[in-house]
Structure 1
Amino acid sequence: MSVLSALLEASRSGGVEIVDLTTPLQESTPVLQLPEPFANTSGFRLEEISRYDDRGPAWYWNDIHTGEHVGTHLDAPNHWVTGRDGADVSQAPLQTMIAPAAVLDVTAAVAQDPDFLLEVDHVRAFEAEYGPLPDGGWLLLRTGWESRGGSQEEFLNTDDAGPHTPGVSAECARWIAEESPVAGFGVETVGTDAGGAAGFDPPFACHHFLMGAGKWGLTSLRNLGELPPQGAVLVVCPLPIVGGSGSPARVLALVER
């Protein structure tokens, strides 16, 4: 049996489970909100063209209106000024879009502190228990934040001091970008940076370092709890938007059971 035939047989028999990590796109899908005077992305919206009526008697279809960075989406290096000369989303390397993933679970810490920041020591402790991060693969941060995804207010978790969502410290962001072997970093929150990252040095350090190093980001993931700490294979399918800084993406994981 060929390798691909074996994979198909395993997926049908349950030996390999396909886990959907994607947030469904609808008008209520939470989107990032930047403070004035910065411009914001539009949310997701369907505009009906016809639906079995005089506009088209036998077919139903829609125009879609959405920003590149809405729902589960991929950040390309050219999304940030530090990566402005880097790859756009249409140039995403397939070896990165299908790659192994490590899942680091900090849900207990985030339940106590929504401003929790991942530090390099947390990653080192993970590697000591589960093995090194996958070379050319992904580090996915499980925070439990997906449980807030039904509400824009709960998902952004903003008060007068600003948004309160978990993420990585500036030093950890630099380490992931410049010293770790991974090609990308994924989160359950609305962006790869923590809610308080505007006050970091540099501001929005995850974007600053990750994009500047030519690495990739994934946001608004869900179902990470169904993945093992090591061993899953991530499949990321963005739209190949020429010149685009990112794209909504269908993200799947293959998990051997």
Structure 2
Amino acid sequence: MTAYVDLSMPISPDMPTNQPDHFPPVLQPYSHIASDGWAGTAITIDSHCGTHVDAPSHFVAGEIGVDEIPIEVLVGASQRIAVDARVVTPEHLGAVASERVVVHTGWSDRTDTAEYLSGSTHLNADAALHLVGRGVRLVGIDSPSVDAPGCDDVHQILLGHGVIIVENLSNTAALPDHFDLIVSPLRIVGADGSPARVIAVVAEPAP
């Protein structure tokens, strides 16, 4: 038996957005069933809106865009590491046993507060180097950024080593320590990032 856990933040104009660096999505209907017989919507969205993937080209010139990320990096066995701290250090990460790591801090429970964006949990540079040294290829976190507000050291380290970043995850409290992860960014040619639907596949014990 398997269960599916949606780790994605709903997208709407009212969602938390780290302005002015990023902007909220705009959803503009341009066709209506009542008048046209079908519905259509123009969508303007930041490449780093909501639950999203950072490609190496987000911070490293000449590196791959989101369309070039290998599928085998985005899909596969993953490990959840629960951390009860504002700043995640190597000591919090402990033994890393997977190429894909989701850092659960509980911060996504605060999306309706101003603090969600201004004082979010994040990794420090030593934690990023620790994950690189352990051979991690993808890092996800349930906060707006792997970096502290106003910093980019962690992005530089992870993306500089080809480690894919997934930010603004939600519902990570529902995850066990080990599960299969599916990260599905839009395949936008040359893009530095993309909103993504992220799903965990969890094995349920037999009744």
Deviation at 1:42, TM superposition (A): 2.2
Give secondary structure in 2 for the equivalent of 1:101.
strand
Q: Distance in 1 between matches of 2:10 and 2:54?
A: 18
- For the 8 Å contact 2:24–2:45, the answer to whether it is kept is yes
Q: Distance in 1 between matches of 2:135 and 2:159?
A: 15
Q: What residue in structure 2 maps to residue 255 of structure 1?
A: 202
Deviation at 1:98, TM superposition (A): 0.6
Letter in 2 for 1:122: H
Deviation at 1:63, TM superposition (A): 0.4
Q: What residue in structure 1 maps to residue 42 of structure 2?
A: 63
Q: CA offsets per residue over residues 103-156 of structure 1, 9 Å max, x none?
A: 1112xx34xxxxx211112222xx2xxxx421xx311111111111234x2321
- For the 8 Å contact 2:74–2:138, the answer to whether it is kept is no
Deviation at 1:53, TM superposition (A): 3.5
Letter in 1 for 2:139: F
Unpaired segments ≥5 residues, structure 1: 1-14, 35-39, 111-115, 157-162
Letter in 1 for 2:135: P
> Does 2:11 match 1:30?
no
Structure with higher helix content: 1
Q: What residue in structure 2 maps to residue 155 of structure 1?
A: 116
- For the 8 Å contact 1:48–1:63, the answer to whether it is kept is yes
Q: What residue in structure 2 maps to residue 92 of structure 1?
A: 69
Q: CA offsets per residue over residues 198-236 of structure 1, 9 Å max, x none?
A: 3xxxx4221010110011000111111111112x01001
Q: CA offsets per residue over residues 163-203 of structure 1, 9 Å max, x none?
A: 321111111112223x02210111111112133xx3xxxx4
Q: Distance in 2 between matches of 1:180 and 1:45?
A: 40
- For the 8 Å contact 1:73–1:219, the answer to whether it is kept is yes
Larger radius of gyration: 1
Q: What residue in structure 1 maps to residue 177 of structure 2?
A: 229
Alignment of 1:181-196 (within 5 A): 181-195=135-149
Letter in 2 for 1:31: T
Give secondary structure in 1 for the equivalent of 2:157.
helix
Q: Distance in 1 between matches of 2:23 and 2:121?
A: 24
Q: What residue in structure 1 maps to residue 103 of structure 2?
A: 141
Q: Distance in 2 between matches of 1:122 and 1:148?
A: 21
> Does 2:90 match 1:120?
yes
TM-score normalized by the length of structure 2:
0.93
Give secondary structure in 2 for the equivalent of 1:147.
helix
Unpaired segments ≥5 residues, structure 2: none
Give secondary structure in 2 for the equivalent of 1:59.
coil
Percentage of pairs with the same residue = 28
- For the 8 Å contact 1:174–1:205, the answer to whether it is kept is no
Q: Distance in 1 between matches of 2:16 and 2:61?
A: 26
Aligned residues: 204
- For the 8 Å contact 2:49–2:195, the answer to whether it is kept is yes
Cα RMSD (Å) of the superposition? 1.4
Give secondary structure in 1 for the equivalent of 2:5.
strand
Letter in 2 for 1:91: E
Of residues 142, 150, 154 in structure 2, which corresponds to 1:206?
Answer: 154
Give secondary structure in 1 for the equivalent of 2:38.
strand
